[in-house]
Amino acid sequence: MKRISRYIAAAALCLAAVACYKEDPITSELGKPEYTVTDGADSTTHFIYDTWQKTGVFILTDYTSKDYVWNVSALSKNVLSKVKADVLPDAVYAVKKSLFDLYSDSFKKQYFPMKVFVADTLNTSFASNVTAGYGRSYIVASELRKETLPMSAEAALNYKGKVNAMLWGYFIYMNGLIEIPEGFFSPCADFYEASYERDTNKDVAGYINSVGFWRYDETNIVYAHMAPSRAKDVADFVEMTTTHTKAEMEALMNGFPILYMKYNILLEAVKNACGVDLQAIGNAK
């Protein structure tokens, strides 16, 4: 891997950094390894080590703010707290089942972020106690604590949707690692990041579905019903698809032709770009 300085200032290098960061070991300015990954007899340590060996992805459970605040060309406002030792095996297992087990090693090597943080708590500039988050070179799988682990089947399904939405919408799409046709976005061009004008007597969810979105942006702190960004739109479709079977998706999209069209465009684009069938992930729930 081309060695990546923690302090790259030029934003123009961001995508190049994401694309090549796994070719050689990550090193700091002083030439020391960024992280040390060692094998162990327990399944958790071995999984972390094996993943790094095969894909170059660091699954980080022991970290400080310097590991996630630096964000290539800016500073992240994320604040993470580490998973407690007594639930660490269950936490890593939850991330393994909801994310890593769903994709091939070759896919992870090319499309996964350099770092995946395993966290007890994630607070962002927009919200507290967030399930999943992102930075330029990482994603965060959070809400992993004694109260949530081990997960029930329903909770694990919902968790899978959240972390995969973060991977595809806020890492793969935002970093330009695959191309999504403009036809996915064009039906909603007049709505992105705009406040819905609505009559309170209307079916809000039905109106949102009719214009091609799954939901409004619940993290918005200014407007009660804000249409999502393009990245969140991708994330929402991935979350829905990876947590529902094809039959369930078709039932939910019945009567909403824009949803159905965008669903088909996204699935075809992902499959053509990297061979992943997102609906197969949902079908296997």
Q: Give the separation between CA 76 and CA 136, rounded to whole angstroms.
A: 9
The whole-number pLDDT of residue 248 equals 98
H helical segments located in the chain:
14-20, 43-55, 66-69, 88-98, 105-111, 153-165, 182-185, 204-210, 230-243, 246-253, 257-274, 278-283
Q: Give the separation between CA 89 and CA 219, rounded to whole angstroms.
A: 30
Give helix 230-243 / helix 153-165 axis angle, nearest 10°: 150
What is the mean pLDDT of the segment spanning 161-186? 97
Q: Give the separation between CA 145 and CA 125, rounded to whole angstroms.
A: 22
Q: Give the separation between CA 110 and CA 105, rounded to whole angstroms.
A: 9
pLDDT in tens, 6-39: 333 333 444 444 444 455 544 444 455 678 899 9
Q: Do the Cβ atoms of 74 and 21 come closer than 8 Å?
A: no
pLDDT interval class at 136 (50, 70, 90): confident
- The half-sphere exposure of 104 on its side-chain side, counting CA atoms within 13 A, is 7
CA distances 120 to 58, 66, 196, 242, Å, are 17, 17, 34, 23
What is the mean pLDDT of the segment spanning 175-193? 95
Predicted structure pTM score: 0.86
Q: Do the Cβ atoms of 127 and 78 come closer than 8 Å?
A: no
Cα angle 89-113-43, degrees, rounded to a multiple of 5 = 20
Top pLDDT among 198 and 82 is at: 82
Q: Phi and psi for 58 in degrees, rounded to 5?
A: -90, 120
Kindly report the number of other CB atoms within 10 A of residue 254's CB atom.
10
Top pLDDT among 40 and 200 is at: 40
Closest CA to 57 of 65, 69, 49, 45: 49
What's the mean pLDDT when you consider all of the chain? 87
pLDDT interval class at 199 (50, 70, 90): low
What is the mean pLDDT of the segment spanning 120-139? 93
Q: Which amino acid is at 128?
A: S
The whole-number pLDDT of residue 240 equals 98
Q: In this model, does residue 79 exceed pLDDT 80?
A: yes
- Rank 25-29, 69-73, 193-197, 279-283 by mean pLDDT and report only the highest: 279-283
- Determine which of 68-77, 86-95, 114-123, 161-170 has the lowest per-residue pLDDT on average: 68-77
Q: Give the separation between CA 235 and CA 257, rounded to whole angstroms.
A: 19
